[in-house]
Amino acid sequence: MEIKQATIADLKALTKLNLNGFIGYELFNVDAPNHQVTKALCALLKLNTLASIHAGYSYACYDNAQLVGYFSLIPAGQELDGPAFLKAGAWKLPFQTTFKVTRRLLGNVLQAEAILKPFPKDYWYLDTLVVAPGQQGSGYGSKILTAVKDHVIEHGGHKLRLITNAKRNRDFYTKNAFINDVMLTPNDNKRNFTTWSFYFDIK
């Protein structure tokens, strides 16, 4: 498997890969017509991917020239901020999507990410990891995680952290030696997803 830093030329393919990977994901189940959710989710994933590419945090994974995975890895203390998303085109969202649906999706994301607030910002953050739907179960996810860990080690990192909202992902990260330290369950009837926080200490 070959891993390369993503560029703007990869944006379309990576957005499609992310959308295919996150359609039906528990975090993005909101009460709205499917076509509106898909359109809003596509716009948000494109925005996040573009901001990550601009910052140098995005990586595309290939096998025999076929795109099999993607990850976004944020160095400690260098999280993407408002200006980064504005530069990537966040101001266009109201013209591209249904505001109500976009607000619900973003509300879910913010609620999930709140699980990280108690922790010191001394960790590298695996913001996104997606394996192409047709390649899941082929070992690519574990290979990508190994590459992520190696990258953190090479750059002097000491801790890697991530969150997930899917039970299948919870089991996957546990299998790959990540430790679940916090779990948040839904606190209202509008949001019905659970969030798990995982970390891996670099030895």
Q: What would the pLDDT profile of 87-106 be if each residue is shown by its tens digit?
A: 999 989 988 899 999 999 99
Domain boundaries, the chain: 2-201
The residues of the chain scoring below 50 in pLDDT are none
- pLDDT at residue 18, rounded to an integer: 97
Q: CA-to-CA distance for 8 and 43, rounded, in angstroms? A: 15
- pLDDT at residue 17, rounded to an integer: 97
- Residues whose CB falls within 8 Å of the CB of residue 147, separated by 6 or more in sequence, listed in order: 1, 3, 61
- pLDDT at residue 192, rounded to an integer: 79
pTM for the whole structure: 0.94
Indicate the residue type of 166: A
* CATH class belonging to 2-201: alpha beta
- pLDDT at residue 137, rounded to an integer: 74
- pLDDT at residue 138, rounded to an integer: 82
User: What's the residue count for the chain?
Assistant: 203
Structure tokens at 130: 């997606």
Nearest CA to 178 out of 157, 154, 162 is that of 162
